[in-house]
Structure 1
Amino acid sequence: MTSTGGSPVRVGVFGLLGSGNLGNDGSLEAVLGYLRAEHPDAVVDALCGGPEVVTARYGIPATRLHWNRGEYRTASRAGAVAAKGLGKLVDVARTASWVRRHEVVIVPGMGVLEATLPLRPWGFPYSLFLLCASGRVFGTRVALVGVGAGPIGDRPTRALVRWSARLAAYRSYRDDQSRDAMRAMGVDTGRDEVHPDLAFALSAPQASTPSDAPGTVCVGVMDFHGGNDDRARAEEIHRRYLDGTTRFVRALVEDGRPVRLLTGDACDATVVAAILEAVDSPLVTAAETASLADLMKETAAADTVVATRYHNLVCALKAGTPTLALSYAAKSDALMARMGLAAYCHPAREVDADRLLAQFRELEKRSAELRRTLTERNLTATHQLRAHLAALTKALFPGATGTRTHTLTSRKAP
């Protein structure tokens, strides 16, 4: 693919990529698969949180998102505070310089317009604003593709998110609630599309054939402390979540069920360790997953999945495995409803092990029926993503030549 000037189109990808969050990296993988299939001549690089990981895993050049390497560490000493302040100024020039070198910049998926987890305005919201403002200044088309959004109480964070969305050249969302949230913030969403999460474009392994004997249950855990507005009771929320989840796992073990613990971010390892110690049973093991493909393999081999992280749910549903969500945000409820499992959501802030176990048993009774439902919903998601990615090509590469007609192949980027 070439630009109107005859040179290859330069495409950047932006976000907290390569930083340990498997969902973020899965969204990147889906977008790289799309670019390599439909725009193979594009020159692609990244501005991201973990450049070494992105380059090693995906084979594209990558630049560190922040000049200050301690950006996401708590700063208590005067020197660390000064370095953060200086870093904010330096990042203005670094981001602008990077954006200027591209015709298109894609922010692939991720909850970049929400604050469902603790978030400071001068962290990623500030970085996203710099990106979108730079795009407007230099004429680079910045696209927020399949992103998540939600109501934001903190005024500075809300202002940065709102202006980022307004300055972007293209927006699409992974659910209706996200689009509604941006409309409520004053963003004109009249031309914005909604489509399934980008991770549904990734290839999924063949689901296992359930046997008559009860099999493995995958339990996806999270280092959960509530959202941005829950800081005052974050520890209480975490204790209740951990206690309820541990009691649920112990009940499964008492029924003789093997349990496989899953994570979605490096920080979740502390919760895995706590559950392993508390339950202390050979029936409970922890999976080592480095990608959404690994997560899909684990969930495809299970009888049932109970999970907290959004992309743990995506992987299980994409694999066609009956799933129960420990829901911590509207995005999880919306995902479960889209896939026909709206009845199987349980609040992550108030995990009641007894009620969760009752929901789990009801889910397993309907396993065969729900597997058929998931097969149908996954086909629908594939068709919707195919249409969306075709529209994305028209919106982002209007002057390009030599592009192919898009067909979604659910391939994994190398």
Structure 2
Amino acid sequence: MTAVRVGVFGLLGSGNLGNDGSLEAVLGYLRAEHPEAVVDALCGGPEVVAARYGIPATRLHWYRGEYRTASRAGAIAGKGLGKLVDAVRTAAWVRRHDVVIVPGMGVLEATLPLRPWGFPYALFLLCASGRLLGTRVALVGVGADAIRDRPTRALVRRAARLAAYRSYRDALSRDAMRAMGVDTARDEVYPDLAFALPMPSSSRPPGPPGPVCVGVMDFHGGNDDRAAAEEIHRRYLDGTTRFVRALAEEGRPVRLLTGDACDAPVVAAILDAVDSPLVTAAEAVSLADLMKETAAADTVVATRYHNLVCALKAGTPTLALSYAAKSDALMARMGLGAYCHPAREVDADRLLEQFRALEKQSAELRRTLTERNRIAARQLADQFTALTAALFPAADRTPARTRQETP
């Protein structure tokens, strides 16, 4: 029998370490449970995905300037033509597969600035093509949130309805989709896929107080905050910088972490403002690198969702600079719900108080995280078992090649 063909889809290889970590977790599952599967990707950064993960990859969008602001007539025309071309390209790619997996990511949310004709449209094309062509599309461990913008909400809702399988990384996501009119009666909630990644060998050295990892973000608010984006960013950067400066003045080494290529200017601004040899920047290129950094730290204070995941998986006491409800939900799930601080209103003095309270409870919180990580591992094993039952039923393995040859 011809090997089952599996596609992975999303903004993968585009600089977001969390998205790539979700892909890595799904590839690990496929290689362990379905080694016969032939895997390729339709993604944002095909060169990176092909080089890093060893699978063939195709560019998600025909128009290379898809995520740049179009102000000139030529760019606007290029984007418009790209939408038509992408409809054909996506359908042709989907047709070559038996199964397509969207691995994790916040594909059903708009907690960061998002336009409906960008990724929501691409996701809708994927799920509609799957339904029309008989290819099972699975949204696995994805994030969702209530969306106010009507066109974006309509595309996301329709895409979710057309998917053959859905699971979510938290109950908040499932509730949001139910509120947007999606039947979630058969949808399950599991921990974020990144909790399935192997933990790199690293440990916190004994001795005096160790480093504090501070994960930063190029944060400008969410999809509904465009008018106040610059003010939100200024407050976030100012409060975070003051917090880092206070730690350095107390003699604490600080390691600045990022989670996306766009975060680099925030790191540069903090380094320039604090100007202390105690404050350094980590050069992480994967979630494994982030886990090593957080495992070696005494404490982590972070903004990006997958910075938090890495720190919590490493078992390090963590404080969230929370920019969305998903961060609060993650912290609560891991037993640290009391240690959240709003990213929109970073108060350095209050943040320092929470940080000191967190450090006083360090030993107890490490024990809590050890137990919560055991639970997460068991739940993700259940997730992959359910995924196999839904997508790879032994009695229904009609290969893509055979389906294509059927008139």
TM range (shorter): over 0.9
Name which of 270, 276, 298 aligns with 1:275. Answer: 270
1:361 and 2:356 aligned: yes
Deviation at 1:206, TM superposition (A): 4.7
Structure 1 residues without counterparts, runs of 5 or longer:
1-5, 403-414
AA aligned to 1:38 is: E
Query: Structure 1: how far apart are the matches of 2:201 and 2:361?
Result: 20
AA aligned to 2:190 is: H
Name which of 164, 169, 172 aligns with 1:169. Answer: 164
Query: Structure 1: how far apart are the matches of 2:329 and 2:202?
Result: 23
Name which of 375, 381, 386 aligns with 1:380. Answer: 375
Q: Which residue of 2 aligns with 1:102?
A: 97
Query: Structure 1: how far apart are the matches of 2:162 and 2:31?
Result: 27
**Higher RCO, Cα 8 Å, sep 6+:** 1
Maintained 8 Å contact 1:300/1:320: yes
Q: Which residue of 2 aligns with 1:236?
A: 231
Query: Structure 2: how far apart are the matches of 1:51 and 1:80?
Result: 22
Which region of structure 1 is more displaced relative to structure 2, 313-322 or 197-206?
197-206
Deviation at 1:211, TM superposition (A): 3.9
User: What is the correspondence of 1:1-400 to structure 2 with a 5 Å cutoff?
Assistant: 6-206=1-201, 208-209=203-204, 211=206, 213-399=208-394
Maintained 8 Å contact 1:206/1:319: no
Q: What SS does structure 1 have at the residue aligned with 2:224?
A: helix
Maintained 8 Å contact 2:215/2:257: yes
Identity across aligned pairs (percent)?
Answer: 86
Deviation at 1:208, TM superposition (A): 2.8
Q: Which residue of 1 aligns with 2:401?
A: none
Q: What SS does structure 1 have at the residue aligned with 2:198?
A: coil
Q: How many correspondences in the alignment? A: 397
Maintained 8 Å contact 1:215/1:302: yes
Measured at CA, do residues 65 and 209 of structure 1 come closer, stay the same or move farther in structure 2, by a change above 3 Å? closer
Q: What SS does structure 2 have at the residue aligned with 1:13?
A: strand
Q: What SS does structure 2 have at the residue aligned with 1:239?
A: helix
AA aligned to 2:267 is: V
Q: What SS does structure 2 have at the residue aligned with 1:46?
A: strand
Query: Structure 1: how far apart are the matches of 2:225 and 2:396?
Result: 50
Query: Structure 1: how far apart are the matches of 2:396 and 2:81?
Result: 42
CA-to-aligned-CA distance 1:47-75 (integer Å, 9 cap, x gap): 00000000000000000000000000111
Q: What SS does structure 2 have at the residue aligned with 1:229?
A: coil
Query: Structure 2: how far apart are the matches of 1:248 and 1:102?
Result: 50
Maintained 8 Å contact 1:146/1:172: yes
Q: What SS does structure 2 have at the residue aligned with 1:381?
A: helix
Q: Which residue of 2 aligns with 1:3?
A: none
Deviation at 1:204, TM superposition (A): 1.1
Deviation at 1:398, TM superposition (A): 1.1
**TM-score (norm: length of structure 2):** 0.96
AA aligned to 2:329 is: A
Maintained 8 Å contact 1:207/1:320: no
Query: Structure 2: how far apart are the matches of 1:187 and 1:357?
Result: 42
AA aligned to 1:123 is: G
Deviation at 1:214, TM superposition (A): 1.6
Query: Structure 1: how far apart are the matches of 2:173 and 2:202?
Result: 30
Deviation at 1:209, TM superposition (A): 4.3
CA-to-aligned-CA distance 1:203-259 (integer Å, 9 cap, x gap): 113563464522100000000000000001000000000000000000000100000
AA aligned to 1:183 is: R
Query: Structure 2: how far apart are the matches of 1:60 and 1:162?
Result: 30
Deviation at 1:32, TM superposition (A): 0.2
Maintained 8 Å contact 1:210/1:303: no
Query: Structure 2: how far apart are the matches of 1:54 and 1:336?
Result: 30
Q: What SS does structure 1 have at the residue aligned with 2:328?
A: helix
Deviation at 1:388, TM superposition (A): 1.1
Measured at CA, do residues 291 and 400 of structure 1 come closer, stay the same or move farther in structure 2, by a change above 3 Å? farther
Query: Structure 1: how far apart are the matches of 2:370 and 2:76?
Result: 52
Q: What SS does structure 2 have at the residue aligned with 1:228?
A: coil
Q: What SS does structure 1 have at the residue aligned with 2:373?
A: helix
